[in-house]
């Protein structure tokens, strides 16, 4: 009997429906559903490159229609907007990769789709609540900060520490509201980047190698980005509050792009040295939990403009 493989090429239409329905339904589960939602682009991306893209699109639209009907009985269709944006992002990733567009296009176009959906949500939600999009954003940040402070208040902390946390609440809300655009953009870019990276690995195991994605370890940010990075850092020190926070947002996004370049260098090193999957995952885990390591990776990405760390790996390969 043939082995059942969910990601086998040219699978039947029913299998496509079941896979997409499973991830879409699981995305609605509280807490853990976020994991399924952010991996939905990966699922659609891989399915589109393993199957006829039109069949995958039709299957996705069928599931969306079913979701709209089911959720309408619960008087909410907002989750469908999130599913639509994430699913279309995955399909767009596949379309751009199939046409051999650059890595930047493969990542940026789907990111714009998700970012557009988020902006539309805040505009529409603000109109529904008779407030501006920025006020709605501040409302969500306030709720998140208050929830975290409730959690901290239950920890075995000194009364002075608890009072200090509570007294800093307005400043924390203001700070995170101001840098929310950067956090949003970074989260979207990181989600699409990881989906593309994992999708490339899955496709490679099945003999499908998108030419541009196969060069992800060789990727580097454009040289002109360093001027935006410097400009963002300079704006932070200006006395005007709005310009200063604009500088922080620019600086954070530019820094994150250099983190991606640093990760590409690390990936290139791992491939050149044939490092095992276990040690790769361990190192990536350390990056995620240790800010110092993340800063070091960003510095590697930044200084790669002048140093070109990959050439040393190539020299080692040539001498072996």
Segment 174-191 mean pLDDT:
91
What is the residue whose two structure tokens read 């505009």?
123
Q: Which pLDDT band holds residue 157 (cuts at 50, 70, 90)?
A: low
In this prediction, residue 275 carries a pLDDT of 73
Report yes or no: 215 and 100 within 8 Å, Cβ to Cβ.
no
Q: Is the pLDDT of residue 34 over 80?
A: yes
pTM beyond 0.75, yes or no: yes
- Bigger pLDDT: 170 vs 277: 170
236-245 pLDDT, tens digit per residue, is: 988 888 889 9
pLDDT band (50, 70, 90) for residue 3: very low
* pLDDT at site 90: 93
**What's the chain's Rg over C-alpha atoms?**
22
* Residue with the larger pLDDT of the pair 169 and 176: 176
Cα–Cα distance, 60 to 46 (Å, whole number)? 13
DSSP category for residue 308: -
> Which range, of 45-59, 62-76, 193-207, 306-320, averages the lowest pLDDT?
306-320
Given a cut of 50, whether residue 84 has pLDDT beyond it is yes
H or E segment at 9? Answer: none
Range from 165-169, 170-174, 186-190, 316-320 that averages highest in pLDDT: 186-190
> How do the domains of the chain map onto residue ranges?
220-315
- The pLDDT confidence band at residue 4, using thresholds 50, 70 and 90, is very low
Residue 18 has pLDDT above 60, yes or no: yes
Cα 252 to chain center, whole Å? 15
């Amino acid at each position: 009997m043939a082995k059942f493989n969910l990601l086998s090429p040219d699978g039947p239409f029913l299998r496509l429906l079941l896979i997409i329905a499973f991830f879409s339904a699981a995305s609605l589960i509280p807490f853990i559903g976020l994991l399924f939602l952010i991996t939905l682009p990966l699922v659609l991306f891989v399915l589109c490159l393993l199957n006829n893209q039109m069949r995958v699109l039709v299957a996705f639209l069928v599931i969306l229609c079913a979701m709209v009907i089911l959720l309408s009985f619960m008087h909410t269709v907002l989750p469908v907007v999130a599913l639509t944006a994430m699913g279309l992002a995955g399909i767009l990733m596949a379309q751009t990769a199939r046409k051999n567009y650059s890595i930047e296009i493969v990542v940026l176009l789907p990111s714009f789709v998700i970012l557009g959906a988020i902006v539309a949500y805040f505009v529409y939600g603000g109109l529904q609540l008779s407030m501006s999009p920025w006020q709605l954003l501040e409302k969500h940040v306030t709720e998140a900060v208050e929830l975290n402070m409730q959690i901290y208040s239950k920890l075995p902390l000194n009364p002075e520490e608890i009072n200090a946390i509570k007294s800093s609440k307005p400043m924390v809300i203001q700070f995170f509201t101001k840098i929310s655009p950067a956090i949003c953009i970074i989260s979207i870019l990181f989600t699409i980047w990881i989906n593309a990276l994992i999708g490339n690995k899955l496709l490679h195991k099945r003999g499908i190698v998108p030419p541009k994605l196969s060069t992800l370890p060789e990727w580097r940010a454009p040289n002109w980005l360093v001027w935006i990075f410097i400009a963002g850092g300079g704006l932070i020190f200006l006395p005007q509050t709005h310009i200063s926070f604009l500088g922080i947002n620019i600086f954070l996004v530019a820094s994150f792009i250099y983190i991606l370049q640093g990760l590409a260098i690390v990936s290139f090193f791992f491939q050149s040295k044939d490092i095992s999957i276990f040690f790769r995952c361990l190192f990536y885990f350390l990056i995620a939990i240790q800010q110092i390591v993340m800063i070091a990776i960003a510095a590697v990405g930044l200084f790669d403009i002048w140093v070109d760390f990959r050439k040393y790996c190539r020299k080692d390969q040539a001498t072996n």
